[in-house]
């Protein structure tokens, strides 16, 4: 296939294309100038639901909305870049880890002034509402609650004939005993549980069941080195006795559901945030269900946490209009018929009751689970300090050096602990 292109043709082609390109390029700027901008991270399912709600709102309120969505991996880079240019969208979906950074640096608008007016939050769950407060001012409205859990492969357990005890009360020792009992009966290559050592939320429930936590309210470390050492030692024992997959297999888990040990048929138990159950079930043929995390102390380790928030940008040109849209998201029944519990179980009691009937069996499992969890929770932890995100990620290489036999438990724990204190002090 020869391309007939001598220089003259190319010259004409070049001029024509350049002109067309310019026209196309400038075209898009015109329309979206005055619309309200909404940004969220998500997946195709959440996008479809959110866009449907946006369309509903456009019809009912006659307003113009410009929605944008990005994958989680790229969301924060895009948001930070826009923040640097003071060009944040009006409505921002926020995460628990980042809301404090953004709020304390005055990038988010205070919402207290809209409560009772554009924002009707009277029947909102108080705990969930408080979770969006930074320094006692409301910066984000929770879009749904979830809690940590252990998810397990029900089909496999039923096949072996194992029945789980009451998970609100069970201890780590009981859980490990169950694992040892099951070990011989599992198929080759399948282990009892994923290794959860590198998951900070798991460490958090461990500490909280002992009455401690990760961080204090004034941003210092709230546990002792000894706690971390015994935590790592526990998981090393689990790995060495064959209750978890070997280090290299476990390292395949890149925090994406599809790479998790339960999906890749390497484990029966896995750590999961409750609102991810639906997505997880789609990736596995066997049936999965949720139980609470075993405690290794007398106190309740878990808490109900906000899955994500909706906030308003401080640089928004029309905050009342943004607040109205926010209100629509959390309170409107027709909107929530579409959104359902994809982002978590909503804090508004009336909406919750309204959508209950339309949920599928997997979704109902989530609601049932949260009901169980609510009977044994401890209060919400204080807001994470600056650097908490970095420390959460740093737990993984620290654990992996133990898992791969590169470092002793005491050394790795001490290195992490000292680094944590330094990072928190660096501020």
Partner 1 sequence: MSSVTTIKDRQSDLPVHATGGWRGEFRRSLPGYLFLLPWLVGFFALTLGPTLASLYLSFTDYDLLTPPRWAGLKNYDYAFVHDARLRSAVWVTLKYVLWSVPLKLSVALGLAMVLDRSVRGVGFYRATFYLPSLLGASVAVAVLWRQIFGANGLVNQLLLLTTGLKGISWVSHPDYALWTLIALAVWQFGSPMIIFLAGLRQIPQDLYEAASMDGASGWRQFWRITLPLLAPVIFFNLVFQMIEGFKAFTQAFIISGGEGGPIDSTLFYSLYLYIEAFANFRMGYASALAWLLLIIIAIFTAIAFASSKYWVYYEDEAR
Partner 2 sequence: MSETHPDRPVGNIRHEWLRHLVLGFAVLVMVYPLIWMFMSSMKPDDLIFSNPTALPKSLDFSSYGRGWNVLRVSFGNFYLNSFIISISAVVGNLMSCSLTAYAFARLHFWGKTFWFALMMGTLMLPYHVTLVPQYVLFLNLGWVNSFLPLIVPKFLAVDAFFIFLMVQFFRGIPREIDEAAIMDGCGPWRIYWKIMLPLSTPVLATAAIFSFIWTYDDFLGPLIYLNDMKSYTVPLALRAFVDSSGGDSHYAELFAMSSLSLIPVFIVFLAFQRLIIRGVALGALKR
Decide: 348 and 338 in contact? Cβ < 8 Å: no
Length of the chain: 427
How crowded is residue 81: how many other Cβ atoms within 10 Å of its Cβ?
A: 11
Residue 389 found at the interface with partner 1 (CB under 8 A): yes
d(CA 263, CA 283): 7
Q: Which of residues 315 and 336 has its CB atom nearest to partner 1 in the complex?
A: 315
Residue 43 found at the interface with partner 1 (CB under 8 A): no
Tell me which of partner 1, partner 2, none is bound by residue 251, counting a contact when its beta carbon lies within the kind-specific cut-off of 5 to 8 angstroms: partner 1
Enclosing H/E stretch for 34: none
What is the smallest separation between the CB atom of 113 and partner 2, expressed in angstroms?
28
Residue 26 found at the interface with partner 2 (CB under 8 A): yes
Structure tokens at 259: 């790479």
Structure tokens at 348: 């508004």
Structure tokens at 44: 């195709």
Enclosing H/E stretch for 19: helix 7-31
Residue 251 found at the interface with partner 1 (CB under 8 A): yes
Residue 252 found at the interface with partner 2 (CB under 8 A): no
Structure tokens at 251: 């390292």
The residue range among 61-69, 148-156, 292-300, 359-367 that interacts with partner 2, by the rule CB under 8 A, is: 61-69
Structure tokens at 63: 């307003």
d(CA 3, CA 9): 11
Among 31, 45, 224, 390, binds partner 1 (CB under 8 A): 390
Structure tokens at 246: 């070997």
Total residues at the site for partner 2 (CB under 8 A)? Answer: 62
Residue 425 found at the interface with partner 1 (CB under 8 A): no
Residue 7 found at the interface with partner 2 (CB under 8 A): yes
Among 20, 32, 252, 421, binds partner 1 (CB under 8 A): 252
Residue 249 found at the interface with partner 1 (CB under 8 A): yes
What is the smallest separation between the CB atom of 284 and partner 2, expressed in angstroms?
6
Decide: 269 and 150 in contact? Cβ < 8 Å: yes
Total residues at the site for partner 1 (CB under 8 A)? Answer: 34
β-sheet with 267-273: strand ranges across? 191-193, 267-273, 148-153, 288-291
Structure tokens at 95: 């995460």
Residue 73 found at the interface with partner 1 (CB under 8 A): yes
Nearest partner of 322 among 37, 102, 42, 85, judged by Cα? 37
Q: Which of residues 77 and 173 has its CB atom nearest to partner 1 in the complex?
A: 77
Packed helices 409-426 and 388-403: angle between N→C axes, nearest 10 degrees:
170
Q: Which of residues 22 and 173 has its CB atom nearest to partner 1 in the complex?
A: 22
Binding site for partner 2 (CB under 8 A): 1-3, 7, 13-14, 17-18, 20-22, 24-29, 32, 37, 41-48, 51, 66-74, 77-78, 81, 84-85, 87, 89, 254-259, 263-265, 273, 276, 278-279, 282-285, 342
Binding site for partner 1 (CB under 8 A): 73, 76-77, 80-81, 83-84, 101-102, 105-107, 247-252, 254-256, 259, 264, 266, 387, 389-390, 393, 396-397, 400-401, 404, 406
């Amino acid at each position: 296939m020869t391309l007939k292109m001598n220089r003259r043709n190319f010259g004409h082609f070049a001029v024509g294309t350049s002109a067309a390109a310019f026209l196309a390029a400038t075209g898009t700027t015109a329309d979206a100038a005055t619309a309200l901008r909404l940004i969220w991270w998500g997946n195709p399912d959440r996008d479809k639901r959110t866009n449907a709600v946006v369309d509903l709102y456009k019809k009912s309120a006659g307003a113009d909305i410009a929605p944008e969505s990005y994958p989680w991996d790229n969301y924060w880079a895009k948001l930070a870049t826009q923040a640097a240019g003071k060009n944040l969208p009006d409505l921002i979906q926020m995460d628990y880890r980042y809301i404090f950074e953004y709020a304390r640096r005055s990038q988010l608008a205070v919402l207290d002034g809209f409560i009772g007016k554009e924002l009707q939050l009277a029947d909102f769950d108080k705990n969930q509402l408080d979770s969006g407060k930074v320094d006692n001012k409301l910066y984000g409205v929770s879009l749904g609650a979830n809690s940590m859990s252990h998810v397990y492969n029900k089909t496999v357990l039923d096949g072996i004939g194992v029945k789980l005890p009451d998970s609100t009360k069970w201890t780590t020792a009981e859980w490990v005993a169950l694992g040892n009992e099951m070990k011989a009966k599992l198929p080759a290559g399948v282990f009892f549980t994923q290794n959860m050592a590198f998951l900070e939320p798991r460490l958090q429930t461990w500490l909280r069941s002992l009455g401690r936590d990760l961080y204090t309210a004034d941003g210092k470390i709230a546990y002792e080195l000894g706690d971390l050492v015994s935590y790592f030692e526990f998981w090393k024992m689990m790995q060495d006795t064959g209750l978890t997959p070997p280090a290299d297999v476990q390292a395949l888990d890149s925090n994406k559901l599809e790479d998790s040990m339960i999906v890749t048929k390497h484990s029966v138990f896995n750590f999961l945030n409750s609102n991810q159950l639906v997505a997880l079930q789609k990736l596995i043929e066997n049936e999965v269900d949720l139980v609470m995390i075993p405690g290794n102390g007398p106190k309740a380790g878990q808490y109900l946490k906000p899955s994500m928030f909706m906030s308003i940008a401080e640089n928004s040109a029309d905050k009342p209009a943004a607040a109205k849209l926010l209100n629509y998201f959390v309170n409107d029944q027709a909107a929530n018929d579409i959104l359902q519990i994809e982002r978590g179980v909503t804090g508004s009691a009336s909406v919750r009751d309204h959508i209950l009937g339309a949920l599928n069996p997997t979704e109902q499992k989530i609601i049932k689970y949260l009901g169980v969890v609510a009977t044994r929770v401890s209060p919400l932890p204080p807001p994470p300090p600056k650097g908490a995100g970095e420390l959460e990620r740093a737990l993984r290489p620290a654990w992996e050096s133990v898992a791969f036999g590169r470092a002793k438990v005491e050394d790795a724990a001490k290195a992490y602990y000292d680094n944590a204190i330094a990072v928190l002090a660096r501020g």
